[in-house]
Every structure is written in structure tokens, then in C-alpha cells.
Amino acid sequence: MALLAARLRRRPLLTSASIVVAAAGLVAYESFDGAAPALGIFRSTRAVYTFALNSVDYKFSLRDHDKKTEEYYEVLSQVHLRAAKRILRLCEANRGFYTKAGQFIASLGQFPKEYVETLRVLQDQAQAWPYRAIKQVFLEEFGRTPGDMYEEFDEKPLAAASLAQVHHAWLSENEEVAVKVQYPGLQRQFEIDISTMAFLSKCVAWLFPDYQFEWLVPEFEKNLLNFAREARRAERATANFANKKEVKIPSIFWDYTTNRVLTMQFMHGSKVDDVESMEKAGIDSKQVSRVLLEIFAEMMFCHGVVHGDPHPGNILVSHNPARGSKHNFHIVILDHGLYRELDENFRRNFCNLWKAMITSDPAEMEKSGLQLGAGEYSRFLPVILTGRTLDSKSGLGKGMSPEERTRLRDEVRKFSMGDISYFMEGLSRDFLIVLRTDGLLRSIVHKLGAPRRLRLETYARYALLGRAMHKRGKPGFREQGIVFYSRSLVEYAYLRFRLGEIHVSRENFV
């Protein structure tokens, strides 16, 4: 009888999963316009199968456990880990969009650690395509092969990522270049993957009403498959940082660039987290941390643009300093595919949030958090961004007291995956990409050995500068800093008091 009862309890969920599988197959078939539908169905079936297994696992592994007990959280951690491993296998099998989505999840510290740690391996895991496939892309884009277009073209790729791979080449005018080539058939494949993922996110909300993951899909729909757009973003970034000698962005060769092929200046250097290479070159990793944080803080708070994928493979450190630079290195920003133009209201509210966190103003923190879409979870933003609670009495950069940690741990233990999903769903798309970028930067700076307060000091300085701007920064925005300095000396003096080590001088603004 017990076995029969268990089967009957499982039947509604299994029936629902069967409906999902059939519907996903239909979505896959119709999305392919009749072109190789079997491939789309196979990919979608893998995704739905993974979804069904994870759904059953969560539903039945946790049903007999009280959420108020330690046992519940132990079992929940085990289920998280099993589910994350299934998703990892799915990403490895389907590649493309699935790999990119897995990387995105791994970069968000707001997800359970089992997901973040399991999916983190996807950051450096991608298989290259054979040269014949790359040659076909060139024939479709240019009507010529790489051998016809470049003086030299290395058939073996330098690097492979989830959506493209990069080849080393030389132009006829003896210019060394890097050639980024999108994988063949990716546009069509991307459409079916997006459709499947959007459908499954709706199914999650249907089967588990507390779980909302539809926020994840829009981040990939508009950003990643147009290399000409990426090239224009790179040129805009070049203009924005024209006065910052420590930043280098590769030049674009437009005659060799399309929506699927991007040819850019080849840049030499080591990965930004390669401390050993920096030491050999006599480069101070702490200074690299400082400049790196300044670059991305300026983008977020002043330019109103966010580079959404600053993992170490997309940032190089070169020992060749630019003339007039204060440092013996410059930082090279490579990939400009995942960008977001921040809404002006978001940019200003984000600046206000940081000012409130600097000055320990709980009312202003909550107000800014609500305006940023965090809702009832606004009180956790200081913890997420600075490592302090809303009413913390400890200094910035010093973390929380033991009492604060205990109180916070007790409150966080009440959180479910539903709470996390509602939090992420409520955030603006701008905030979501900012959190991802900030998380990746924190990881890099930590590896470089920089003190925690360096990030806080840098963000604080640029947040206050961003507040003074009537609209998002444009090339040459730094001149506004001088005016701001004359108007806001008191505010900066208080900032110095709060952070202790910021020196109020014109060098902080220009």
C-alpha cells in the first residue's frame, strides 16, 4: 500500500513533466523553420530531462523535512549539489547558450554555493571547432577563405569560448590581429535554446510557484551574437577612456569585420589574475587591482555602461606602459559582447545607494534599495555589496562583528530558493548585470591580494563623482569633477572620515 501511495503522489508531477517534454519538443521543432529539427529536439530533450529530474529531486527529497530543522538544510544542500551537477552535464553536452547561462549563474554569488562552485568550471571549459567549420563561416560572410583575406592565419585557435573562438593572424599590411569567429549555425541554435529556456523557466514557475527564473533569459537575447555591435562598443569604450593612459582597448579593422567575424588589434599580455607573471615583469599586483577597479567603477557610476563579462580571460595586463602613464603597465579590456547601457535613474540611484552605505544612513539605504527594485530584501544590499548589515556599527571594510554575523546567519537561514528567485526577479536588469560584474571583479581583486577596503574606497569615490553628474558621462566627463570638487568638499571630507585613508585632493577626481 505504501508503494502504491508513493506512486500516486508522484503521478501528478510525472504527468506534468511528460507534458513539458512533449511541449518542449514542439517548441524545438517549430523554432527551427524546418532546418535540422532533430538537433533542436535532442538539445531540448536533454534540457527538459534535466529539468524533470531536478524537479522530482527537489519535490520528493524535501517533502518530509521540516524547514526549521538542521536536517532540512543538510538535505537541501545535497539536492542543490545533485541538481547543479546535472545542469553542469547539460551545459557540457549542449554547449553554446547553455554554457553561457551556466557561466552567468556561476558568477552570481546570490545563488546557493553548490551551484556557484559546481558551474564555475564552465568559465575555462570550451571545445574548439575544426578549421573547416571556421572556413565555412568566412565563405558565408565574405565569400572568401581566411587564407584569401589574411597574409597569415593560424588554423589552430588561440582560445575557445562558449560562442566563438579566436585565431591569430597577420594582415597584408603587416598588422598583427586577433580574429574572433562565431561558431557556425549558432544564430539558429541560439533561437531554439532561448525558446527552450524561456519555456522551461515558465514551467518552473508553474510546478513550483515560489520559484521565478524568467529573469535569466532576457540577459542573453540581445547582447551576444552581433560582433559588429560589439566592435562599436569597443570603440565607444576607447573614446570614454581616451584620457586614462592605463587602459588599452584593441582597435577594430572594419573591412574584416561582420556580425559573425570580428578582427581586432592583437594585444600581448598575461591574464589579469596571473600574479606570477606580474612579479616577473616587476608589476605591482595591488596597483593593478586599483586601476582595474577604477576602470570598472568609472564605467558603472559615470559612463552609465557596464561590461558584463570581466572574467580573467577577457582582461590582460601588459608591461608596455603608455607614454604619460603613472604605472609600468596598462590593462587591456578585450571582450565587449555582454554590455548593458544603464538606465539613467538606475545609475543615479546606485550612486545614492553607495553614498548611503558609506555614510551609514539606513533610511537612505532602504529608500535607494526600493528604487533599485530590491523590495523587502533591500536591507540585505549592504551585506551583498559591502559585507556589513544595514545597522552595522563596524567601520567600512572591517566586516561584521560576531554578533552581527550570528544575527544575519539566523535570518539568512530562513531564506529558500523561492526567496532568492523572487529577489532576482524583482531586481532591475541593470542591477542584475552590475551584481555579476561586481562579483567577477571581487574574485579577481581577491586573487591579486588587494585589501577589501580598496574596492570600497574606489566605488565610494566614483559614486560621489557620479552623483554630481546631471547625466551619464561622455568622453571628457572628468572636467565635471573639478566643479564637483569645489561644490562638495564637505561631502568628501566626511567620506575621508568614514574611510580613513582617502586623501581629499584633486587627484581623486581627475
Give the model's pLDDT for residue 419: 63
* Average pLDDT of span 97-116: 81
> How much is the pLDDT for 14?
45
Q: Residue 309 catalytic?
A: yes
Average the pLDDT over 125-141 and give the result: 91
Do 227 and 261 lie in one domain? The reply is yes
DSSP state of 303: I
The region of weakest confidence among 1-15, 142-156, 283-297, 396-410 is 1-15
pLDDT value for 151 = 95
What's the number of domains the chain is made of?
Answer: 3
Question: What is the pLDDT at residue 494?
Answer: 62
Question: Quick one: cell of 52?
Answer: 524533470
| Structural domain of 459 | 268-510
- Give the pLDDT score at 58: 87
Residues 208 and 226 reside in one and the same domain: no
Query: What tens digit of pLDDT does each residue of 288-332 get?
Result: 999 999 999 999 999 999 998 898 989 999 987 666 678 899 999
Q: Strands 315-318 and 330-333, how do they pair?
A: antiparallel
Tell whether 242 and 317 lie within a shared domain: no
Give yes or no: residues 365 and 457 share one domain.
Answer: yes
**Same-domain pairing of 413 and 453:** yes
Residues with Cβ within 8 Å of residue 382, at least 6 apart in sequence? 357, 365, 388, 389, 390, 392
pLDDT of residue 396: 57
Q: Are residues 248 and 285 in the same domain?
A: no
Task: Read off the pLDDT of each residue in 362-376 and give the average, rounded to a whole number.
Answer: 86
| Of 447, 448, 456, 441, nearest in space to 394 by CA | 456
Least confident stretch, 332-341, 410-419, 440-449, 501-510? 501-510
pLDDT confidence tier of residue 421, bands split at 50, 70 and 90: low
344 and 259 belong to one structural domain: no
Q: Is the pLDDT assigned to residue 110 strictly greater than 70? A: no
112, 61: one domain: yes
Let me know whether 255 and 333 are in one domain. no
* C-alpha to C-alpha distances, 54 to 86, 107, 215, 223, 280, nearest whole angstrom: 8, 21, 19, 29, 47
- Which one of 251, 266, 281 terminates a domain? 266
CB within 8 Å of 8: residues ≥ 6 apart = none
The overall pTM is greater than 0.75? yes
Residue 22 CB burial class (10 angstroms; 0-12, 13-18, ≥19):
exposed
Contact 439, 108 (CB under 8 A): yes
CA–CA distances in Å: residue 280 to residues 314, 319, 373, 447, 450 = 21, 10, 46, 17, 18
Q: Do residues 321 and 448 share a domain? A: yes
496, 348: one domain = yes
Asked whether residue 62 carries a pLDDT value surpassing 80, the answer given is yes
Catalytic residue among 193, 273, 274, 309: 309
Query: Which of 174-178, 338-342, 378-382, 471-475 is predicted most confidently?
Result: 174-178
For 181-236, the pLDDT digits (tens) are: 999 888 777 777 877 777 777 766 666 655 556 656 655 655 578 999 999 999 99
The CATH number that applies at residue 141 is 3.30.200.20
Same domain, 367 and 486: yes
Q: Is 434 within 8 Å of 350 (Cβ atoms)?
A: yes
C-alpha–C-alpha distance, residues 19 and 417, integer Å: 24
